[in-house]
Copies of this chain bind each other. A is one copy, B any other.
Amino acid sequence: MSHHELTAEETVVENLGVRKIDSPLAGRMAAQKVERRFLSDDDRVLVNPLITGDNPISKISFERAGPRREIYFDPSKVKAAIVTCGGLCPGINSVVRAVVLELHYIYGVRNIVGARFGFQGFIPDYGHPFVDLDASFIAGTHGRGGSLLGISRGHQDPTRIVDTLEMMNINILFTIGGDGTMRGALAIKKELDNRGLKLAVVGIPKTIDNDIRFAQSTFGFATAVEAAAKVIHGAHNEAISAEGGIGLVKLMGRHSGFVAATATLAHPDVNFCLIPEADFDMEGEHGFLNALEKRIMERDHAVIVVAEGAGQKYFEDQHYGLDASGNIRLGDIGIFLKEKIEGHFAKQDIPIDLKYIDPSYTIRSLPANATDRIYCSFLGQQAAHAAMAGKTGIMVTMWHDQMVYVPMKLSARKRRQVDTRGRLWHAVLETTGQMTMINPGAG
């Protein structure tokens, strides 16, 4: 979480131009006889409100999200497109819904389309027709899991995407996706800039791994943790029910162990939590297998939670890893651990009963819980405000409990990870009681 390297320059939000149109919110609020605080681009929140003693405070700050009194686009003429990319995550439909509701009912925008199956939707070759995002589409979205627009992974040519945007006279593009999607959005923005097109590109970060830099947490995370905790509870039930019972649960987290660590805290019976940020040795006196053996000898059962990106060093170095040639398994730490554990205990002739659980799809496809649904609404609303104000190249996030507009390029630079010297990870170490499983000289 060192943000020292940020410069004030980098946090500046790009605007497409001068805003001259009165926001319809003012009129709408007058009709409802309510008041609302508009925000100006000068309203900001410090990137780092932490201080130590009398040390100087860094004034580096992010622009606060919110409605602007004047907007850039004429609601009656503007056309917006929404695209959802990557893997599933609880809440995608809720974000789409919130963007559309805000544009349609609050700003009076009538032209909103959805691209189908991620960026493929902008490439004519795929033949996916656009979807009209109107009231009837919205009616069916509440509380639905998955993505009604459809998703896809993978890169698409930004020039062809911009061709389509241009041809369709789209003025605003909302991208809902993770790292790759934001890199895609930035490539699209670059192409737009090259062509001198005044199109707003606004991103809402989507990652079930919760690993977006400058995003305090991402939508779907609360739902994922709740569901993962239930799976861990089941693994615990399996473990205590068998002699030498071992419940092994693989959770999401390719580069960051937030889901694994947080779900571990939700259930008091995890004995080992393995995440990408905390290196561990498999073999050797202080390695994981010996620690597990000790646990089994003492307590007869164990629950292990592993993030999918943990222990990747075992797949880089073929001498350590599986000698399998199959690509499918390469890097699958869950299967790898399962086999290592079974092999270890077979060698020791200690009976175990290992149950391996990989709940990924059942979690990703869940509808968002109330906490996430509400968060999705806020994200969608703030994204709509940003776009109508002509802001571009930004993502909407929560930072120190405030909603902000952060230039996408800042986030794309690196991922948020679990701080192994911080509160979250130490709560995990306290609940599991696990040691650092590194052999001397092996780290």
* Interface residues of A, Cβ cutoff 8 Å to B: 29, 31-37, 40, 42-46, 49-53, 57, 59, 61, 64, 66, 88, 101-102, 105-106, 116-117, 120, 126, 128, 140, 142, 144-148, 150-152, 216, 222, 225-226, 229-231, 233-238, 240-243, 247, 262-263, 265-266, 268, 286, 355, 357, 359, 361-362, 364-366, 369-371, 373-374, 377-378, 381, 399-403, 420-423, 426-427, 429-431, 433-436, 438
Contact = CB atoms under 8 A, between A and B. Distances in A.
Nearest to A141: B268
Nearest to A38: B421
Nearest to A430: B106
Contacts of A37: 421-422
Given A32-B434, A43-B52, A427-B377, A234 B145 contact: yes
B51 A49 contact: no
Contact of A240 (B31, B146, B433, B434): B146
A148 B240 contact: yes
Contact of A52 (B44, B238, B374, B426): B44
Contacts of A438: 33
Nearest to A234: B365
A242 B121 CA distance: 12
B36 A142 contact: no
A36 B400 CA distance: 22
A361 B357 contact: yes
Contact of A46 (B51, B53, B152, B242): B51
Contacts of A33: 286, 435-436, 438
Given A150-B242, A427-B377, A421 B36 contact: yes
B234 A374 contact: no
A373 B53 contact: no
A12 to B, nearest CB: 13
Given A146-B238, A229-B370, A365-B234, A66 B401 contact: no
A45 B36 contact: no
B401 A243 contact: no
B150 A241 contact: yes
